[in-house]
Every structure is written in C-alpha cells, then in structure tokens.
Amino acid sequence: MNAIYDFSDQCGIVTGAASGIGKALALLLTESNADLVLVDRDKTGLEATVRACKEIRADALLAVDADVSKEQDVNRMVEETLVRFGTIHFLVTCAGILFRNNFTDISLPEWDEIMNTNVRGLFMCNQFVVREMLKQGNGTIVNVASVAGRSISLIGGVHYCASKHAVIGITRHMARELCAKGIRANAFCPGATSTPMIHDNLSADEIKQLKKRIALERLAEPEEQARTIAFMLSDAASYLNGACIDSNGGSVML
C-alpha cells in the first residue's frame, strides 16, 4: 500500500479491523511502523487481517476478539492493550453495522442493535481509551462516521443514519472538551466504499445506480479511505480538531 507517514513508537487501537476500511487501515499502519491492537467480533475475519499484517511485520501486533457493544469486552480491549504496550496513542473506531429496513418496518430490537454498536459501543471505546490518554496528556482519535451522518443514508435505514449523526456529535463535543488536555478528536465521513457492507447489502444493479450519484462514478477503495485516516492521525494534521472530513467522491444526495 506504500506507507506515507511514520508511526514508529506509537501504539493504537483499530476497531472493526476484520474487513473493509478497518482492515485496509490495519495494513497501512503496520507498514507505517505502528504498534497495533486490532479489534473485531468477527474472529475469522480478524485472524485473516492479522495474518496479512504479519506478512508485513511480524511483531508489535495484538488481536482482541471483542464486541464493542459489550462493556466487558471494551474494558478487556483496553486492559490487554495496556498490558502489552503500556500506552495508547491513538484510537480509530471503524466498527459499525447497518440494516436496510424501511422506517415503518424497523423493530425496537433492531433499533437497539444498531445503537448499541454504532453509538453506545463507540462511546465506550472513546471513554475508556480517553481515560488512559488523559494520564499521559496526549492522544489522537478518529471516529468513523459516514456520509449518512452529514445528510441521509442511501443504503442503510433511518437508525443507521441517526447513529452516524450521533458519531459526529459525540466527536465534536469530545474535541471541544478534550483539546486543552492534549487530545485531538475528529470524525471521518466516508462515502460508498467497496467493502463487504456494500456488497452484502446491495445488488449489482443497485451498486450501478449508486455510482451514478457519485461525481467520480465509482466506489472508493478501502485503501483510499485508509490513507485519509492515516493523515488525520499524523502530525501533518496537528491543527485538525473537531473536524468532519468527507471522502465521498463527490456524492450527490437526491
């Protein structure tokens, strides 16, 4: 993938690392010399990501099989990170789920499942990690939202859209509250990306129609999105705080 930034002597956590943008970011950060903790509830996918990362660099890697919607799992994620690496310099929250049901067909259990992972889980990951970052007086956070958090979702239901708006709100409030304590927090808003989330939920024809709404007339590749996140984590983005970076190829919302 060709590393652009050097994250030597930095340790970070990436949730949702089993596939898609999270996996691409894990590979890029491994190339960039970061010590990494890769987290996902998809154990098989997580193992595949770890194998791919170890082909690049065998050391400085920890895999944690965890569900971010569960408090005990998030707590264990942080504890295992500190035992292995002693500190946490950055966090990227790629973990998220999507359902496509129409507004009137969404059940309360489905609403809760989306919110438990995309909002409650993200909040817990941030809160538990920030508590450790405050002890060292620095840290960088990128919360992965979506173009859905900027407007509407062309793929997911209203619960997915609402959850991504919440991610942006949480991130902006964190940025305001924590910046004086050395912690930067920003939101990343990717558009349609060629990931399992897209291909598992849309037919070939639906993807074709989706591309027509994008000025670049194609889906993003996960590696393209990973490079933007790496920039947001890097010292090159040292003045970036409370921002929402859009990477959507010029999506047109109709």
Known active-site residue 160? yes
DSSP string, 177-240: HHGGGTEEEEEEEE-SBSSHHHHHHS-HHHHHHHHTTBTTSSPBPHHHHHHHHHHHHSGGGTT-
The Cα–Cα gap between 100 and 201 comes to 8
Q: Are 195 and 19 in contact (CB under 8 A)?
A: yes
Residue 39, helix vs strand vs coil: strand
User: Considering just the CA atoms, what is the radius of gyration of the chain in Å?
Assistant: 17
Q: Which of 160, 172, 178, 251 is catalytic?
A: 160
DSSP assignment, residue 2?
Answer: -
Q: Are 25 and 94 in contact (CB under 8 A)?
A: yes
Cβ–Cβ contacts within 10 Å for residue 92, how many?
28
Q: Are 246 and 225 in contact (CB under 8 A)?
A: no
User: Nearest 5 degrees, angle CA 237-CA 238-CA 241?
Assistant: 85
Residue 7, helix vs strand vs coil: coil
The Cα–Cα gap between 223 and 202 comes to 21
Residues identified as active-site: 160
